[in-house]
Amino acid sequence: MSFSDFDPTIKGTLPADFQWGYATAAPQIEGAWNKDGKGLSIWDTFGHTPGKVKDSSTADDTTRSYDFYKRDVARMKAYGVTGYRFSLSWSRIIPLGSKDDPVNEQGLKFYSDLVDELLANGITPFVTLFHWDTPQELENRYGGMLNKEKYIPDFNRYARVCFERLGDRVKNWITYNEPGVYTLAGYAAGVHAPGRSSFRDRNEEGDSSTEPFIVAHTELLSHAHVARIYKEEFKPSQKGTIMITLHGNWNEPWDADDPKHVEAAQRAQEFEIAWFADPLYKTGDYPPSMRAQLGDRLPRFTSEESKLVLGSSEAYGMNSYTTFFVKNRDAEPDINDHKGNVEVFDTNKQGVERGIESDTPWLRTSPHGWGKLLRWIWDRYQTPIFITENGTTAKGEHDFKPSGPDDILEDPHRVDFFKSYLTEVAKASQEGVVIKSYFGWTFTDNWEWAAGFTDRFGVTWVDFNDPEKPRYAKRSAYFLKEFFGHLIAESKK
């Protein structure tokens, strides 16, 4: 394949200090689930509960990046990245989780060594404090994020330990990864840890009509407390930045000529993104469309809380993958609705598909919607955007049989995905949307939560059947290196 036919009109459109690389999350790649003093997280418990994970796998080993991190950093360097986004496992650092529990020095050492290894290889670390793996003990003691009075001091202390011990070298902090998915999948649908919902065929406990909003409120407030701690106690000497990463796909009206469906798509966008982003970047409060549908089930901010939350995140961390068509529902909203009383479709009224299928049912290649979303976020929030995740699975990758250690898996579907999405990034940048980073999801194939090993999102193929978890590059890894060489402006020094 030749990469020489890149569009000349987008050459050098991204600034010279643009950061790009791959994102990962501790539970999905580390393995070593009970090694060197690590405590249990809710995902360890969930993965060991029969019937919860599609292929009955656990995160016990996954890619074993805990053991092989040096090799992984070397591979990333060969892929040409400038940055690497990874998450810290709270229960590896504080095994029991709370403010009064001891710190595990071996756990901290692992992350400190990883940071050193990255810096020695010229790779900038972007560190997420929380990527869904609440310490199990906090869940047992007081219900985790359902109890904001108890949870906030514990999260504050965990964050302080991380800033104190890693902040001399880590300058890019992310408090939460996708707080919306954590609460919707864990407390509304009940298909992720901690596995709570109103559906008794699925979960023993929970209330999908209230808990997701309570947990989201805790996430926003605890993020804001930690951001304040960072800015007041650490930023003056460490000089880093702190933000939060939100999920959000694009919602396109099913019938763009019918105002009812246009409004429904906007409402869906607000339920998905503005739920978190309005309090953080716009008003200090939830969007009126949510208050109108949910009433008192949506918690309220005191005026002090509202001030604490608004402006707390210094940039917009953006995770996004795909687009859906959205139709208004005429009926009264269901008590367990979290989408803004809409129905979601793969095709629009004219029968146009939302995109080419991947190996993951919800995910289709839809660069057009992604381009609209970049502009929607910029127009509404006027905050610099760090793209912290974007990527795809591709059909047929489970059958790869490498012919030798240097064999490369050809993944044209993923190459096309990256090429089309990054072309939109370049065009939006040309129009003035401020975009500072792009992290592909993900570096290696990994443990995709409740989907286990059935979703291969990596630009590196992993043989999970081999205890050494050998890695093989996919073509897209080399494509991205070339393409960013084309897109990023040369520095003027």
- Provide the annotated active-site residues: 178, 389
- Which of 148, 180, 197, 181 has its CA nearest to residue 335? 197
Determine, following the binding rule CB under 6 A, whether residue 87 of this chain makes contact with ligand NOJ: no
Among 58, 91, 134, 177, binds ligand NOJ (CB under 6 A): 177
Tell the smallest beta-carbon distance from residue 19 to ligand NOJ (Å): 18
Tell the smallest beta-carbon distance from residue 26 to ligand NOJ (Å): 10
Tell the smallest beta-carbon distance from residue 81 to ligand NOJ (Å): 18
Nearer to ligand NOJ, 98 or 249 (CB): 249
Nearer to ligand NOJ, 112 or 454 (CB): 454
Determine, following the binding rule CB under 6 A, whether residue 211 of this chain makes contact with ligand NOJ: no
Helix (H), strand (E), coil (C) string for 214-250? HHHHHHHHHHHHHHHHHHHHHHHHHCCEEEEEEECCE
122: left (phi over 0), alpha (psi -120 to 50) or beta: left
Tell the smallest beta-carbon distance from residue 221 to ligand NOJ (Å): 21
User: How is residue 238 written in tokens?
Assistant: 């460490």
Number of residues that bind ligand NOJ (CB under 6 A): 9
Q: Where are the alpha helices (DSSP H) in 167-313?
A: 179-183, 211-229, 235-238, 259-269, 275-277, 288-294, 303-309
Nearer to ligand NOJ, 305 or 411 (CB): 411
Residues between 312 and 371 with contacts to ligand NOJ, criterion CB under 6 A: 319
User: How is residue 147 written in tokens?
Assistant: 């109890």
Nearer to ligand NOJ, 289 or 388 (CB): 388
Residues 330/264, Cβ–Cβ less than 8 Å: no
Nearer to ligand NOJ, 210 or 319 (CB): 319
Q: Which amino acid is at 162?
A: C
Whose structure tokens read 């529902």? Answer: 329
Determine, following the binding rule CB under 6 A, whether residue 389 of this chain makes contact with ligand NOJ: yes
Among 448, 453, 472, 488, binds ligand NOJ (CB under 6 A): 448
Tell the smallest beta-carbon distance from residue 99 to ligand NOJ (Å): 26
Tell the smallest beta-carbon distance from residue 479 to ligand NOJ (Å): 20
d(CA 250, CA 362): 12
Determine, following the binding rule CB under 6 A, whether residue 441 of this chain makes contact with ligand NOJ: yes
d(CA 171, CA 169): 6
d(CA 105, CA 461): 32
Nearer to ligand NOJ, 305 or 389 (CB): 389
Determine, following the binding rule CB under 6 A, whether residue 460 of this chain makes contact with ligand NOJ: no
Residues 125/86, Cβ–Cβ less than 8 Å: yes
Residues between 20 and 59 with contacts to ligand NOJ, criterion CB under 6 A: 25, 28
Residues 223/232, Cβ–Cβ less than 8 Å: no
In terms of Cβ atoms closer than 10 Å to its own Cβ (0-12, 13-18, 19+), residue 50 is exposed
Among 72, 178, 397, 424, binds ligand NOJ (CB under 6 A): 178
Binding site for ligand NOJ (CB under 6 A): 25, 28, 177-178, 319, 389, 441, 448, 457
